[in-house]
Amino acid sequence: MKLAGGNFVLPAITTTAAAQRPTVETIVEIPSEQKVPENLAFADDGTLYFGITVGEIWQLTADQTQQTGLALNDATRVTTLPGSASGVEVGPNGTIFVGSQADAGTGVWQVPQNGGDPSLFAVIPRMNQKQVFPNDILYDSDQNRLLVTESFGGRVYEVPLDAANPETAAYVWLDADSLATESFGANGLTFGPDGAVFVAVTRAASDVGENVGRLVRVPVADDGSTTDPEVYLESPAIIGADGITTRGQTVYVAANSLNEVVRVTPSKQTRTIASSDDGLVFPSDVVFGTANRQQDDLFICNFANETPSQAAILRTRPNQRN
C-alpha cells in the first residue's frame, strides 16, 4: 500500500470492556458453501436489502429486522445479477444499486424497487490494472449522484443519476495516495455529520511499517468536488476496515481482520463494541436502521467468507456512553 502524505493521527489506545458490551443477536443465519452476504442498505421504510456474493439481492421487511432466528428462506429474493454482488445502496424511488463484477459489465447495476431484471447503469473503467473491484456505494441526494469505491485501484468514482450512457457514466471523483495500497484500498463509504465523506481503507502500512486500517475524511465543496482529503485515523485497532457508518460524530467500523466492530470517537479513541466473542466472523458492513424502532439498532453483516457456515446478519444496540 502507498502511504498517505500529510497529517497522520497516532493510533489511540483501544479499550475493550466485554462486560459493558451490548447484546448481539442473530437476525438471519445464511449457512452455505457459496452464499455469503457482504453489504447492507436500508430503504426509508425500514426494509433491509443485502447482497449475496454470488449475485443475489435479498430483502427483509422492517418487522423481520426486529426478529431473531430467521433463515434465508424467510427473506425475499429481489433479483439475481449476471455477476457478483458487493456494494448495495438504495437510491431515489427505491431503486437498488449494486456493485458487481460481471462479464456483461463491471460497475454499478440498477434494480427496480420491487425486483425485476437488473440493468447495467455505469461501467467502472480499468485504469492501470487488470481488474477493477466496484465495492461500496453511497447515495448523495444533495448532488443527485452515487459515489462508488474501487478497491483494487484505490479510487472513488462519481456516477450522476441522470447519466444516460453506462459506458461513460462513471468518472474519478477522488484519486489520492491515502486510498491506494499494495493490498485492498478504498472500501466503505459514509457521510459525516458535516457532509464530509469518510472512506475506509482496509489494509495499509503506517510510516513505520505497521499494518493498519485507515479512515480518510474528504471534505466536500458546495459544487460536490473534493477538497484536501486528510487521514482521519490510521491504527491497528481498525485493520481490515470494511463497511463504515456514523452516528453523530462517532464512526463505526466493521474491522473484518479483527472480527470486530469498532467505535471511533471524535477524539480518535477506539473501543470494540462487538467481537468474535459475540458471534462476529469477518464482519463486512455496519449500518443503522431507518424506521423509528430501528434507529438505535446497528446491523452487522457477517461476511464469513472462509467459514460460510457462520454467515449471518446480526443486530445490536450500542450504548453511546461506553
Residue 14 pLDDT > 80: no
- The order of strands in the sheet holding 96-100 is 88-90, 96-100, 107-111, 119-123
- Torsions phi, psi of 310, nearest 5? -105, 10
Which of 114 and 151 is assigned the larger pLDDT? 151
Residue 168 pLDDT > 80: yes
**Assigned C-alpha cell, 19:** 462486560
Average pLDDT (144-161) is 97
Q: What does the CA dihedral 161, 54, 127, 200 come to, rounded to 10 degrees?
A: 70
Assess if residue 322 is contained within a domain. Answer: no
Provide the 10 A C-beta neighbour count for residue 154.
28
**Residue 50 C-beta-side C-alpha neighbours within 13 Å:** 32
Assess if residue 43 is contained within a domain. Answer: yes
Structural domain for 219, as ranges: 14-316
Assess if residue 5 is contained within a domain. Answer: no
**Rounded Cα gap, residues 157 and 43, in angstroms:** 23
Nearest C-alpha neighbor of 122 from the set 91, 144, 100: 100
Binned at pLDDT 50, 70 and 90, residue 9 comes out as very low
Assess if residue 87 is contained within a domain. Answer: yes
Residue 321 pLDDT > 90: no
> What does the pLDDT look like over 173-217, one tens digit per residue?
999 999 999 889 999 999 999 999 999 999 998 888 899 999 999
User: Hey, CA dihedral for 208, 214, 217, 223, is it positive or negative?
Assistant: positive
Number of H helices, E strands in the chain: 0, 26
Which of 126 and 254 is assigned the larger pLDDT? 254
pTM for the whole structure: 0.92
> What does the pLDDT look like over 67-97, one tens digit per residue?
999 999 999 999 999 999 999 999 999 999 9
Q: What is the pLDDT, as a whole number, of residue 275?
A: 98
Which domain CATH number covers 134? 2.120.10.30
Specify whether the CB–CB gap between 240 and 257 falls below 8 A: yes
Assess if residue 9 is contained within a domain. Answer: no
Residue with cell 473501543: 271
**Assigned C-alpha cell, 3:** 502511504
Assess if residue 65 is contained within a domain. Answer: yes
Assess if residue 2 is contained within a domain. Answer: no
Nearest C-alpha neighbor of 290 from the set 84, 26, 45, 27: 45
Q: Which long-range contacts (CB under 8 A, 24 or more apart) does 82-86 make?
A: 82/55, 82/118, 83/55, 84/53, 84/54, 84/55, 85/38, 85/39, 85/51, 85/52, 85/53, 85/54, 85/55, 85/56, 85/57, 86/38, 86/39, 86/51, 86/53, 86/133, 86/134, 86/135, 86/136
Total domains present in the chain: 1
Assess if residue 108 is contained within a domain. Answer: yes
Amino acid 266 reads P
